[in-house]
Amino acid sequence: MSPAELVAAVVLGLVEGITEFVPVSSTGHLIVAGHALGFTGERAKTFEIFIQLGAILAIVWLYREKFRTVLVSLGREPASQRFATNLLLGFLPAAIVGVLIHHWIKARLFTPVVVGWAFIAGGIVMLIVERWKPVPRIQDTADLPPRVALGVGLAQMLALIPGVSRSGATIIGGYVLGLSRTAATEFSFFLAVPVIAAAAAFDLLRSLDSLVATDVPLFALGFLVAFVAALVVVKAFLRFVAHHSFEVFGWYRIVAGGLLLWLASRGFLGGA
């Protein structure tokens, strides 16, 4: 592992862990950071799979009692069955569409320019929703109706566009559909587990030929950094949304999107 690769592993692991579960788009940040660090190509894409798994492990660890209870009681407890059903309904829309157009998305949309415009569009939507201030009717994910879970899943399809943000689409989608900010955020966390795990498995199967033993230290470092960063950020983010709106993230996205478009137009990040 060269010094440059060491820096890339730490920086990208931090970027993934910090941005995966807040509504700013981890994919968009990774694309930009990867371009800036010169860490791109098939090897970089495989590395991103591992750091996403590190971030997901943080959610599994933090909510381990919840997941354990559901798994143990799934055959007999209506609450566990509803939880599993809601995750399935939230998972399927993006999973089906993602499988159908996965290659086209990877080939055409993973660019700084697309990310920049998606940042801005997502930020504007956030500000509009916060001005609207939907009235929360559902305070706990345990009370989430299946139709709302499906609605969040449909909103999640927008996150197939790099820069939109999976967490942003699901959190704002849930908020618009009547979930409180905290409940929408928690459901987004839960939904991330099957969604990202399935996407990572799909990508990993396609990347098996590019895996080599010498990359294990690099991938393991990125995985660990992403796991620790996500642990810290998830706890802090839940405390934040309990008392604040999402406006700061909307403004951040607009400013960051404008900056990305400017940098891309100057050739610093690649204009394609």
Q: Are 50 and 20 in contact (CB under 8 A)?
A: no
pLDDT tens for each residue of 171-205: 999 999 999 999 999 999 999 999 888 888 887 77
Q: Are 86 and 146 in contact (CB under 8 A)?
A: yes
pLDDT tens for each residue of 211-248: 777 778 999 999 999 999 999 999 999 999 988 999 99
Q: Are 269 and 257 in contact (CB under 8 A)?
A: no
Residue 118 tokens, joined: 């998606």
pLDDT number for residue 111: 82
Q: Is pLDDT of 271 > 60?
A: no
Residue 175 tokens, joined: 């908020």
pTM of the model: 0.88
Q: Are 54 and 225 in contact (CB under 8 A)?
A: yes
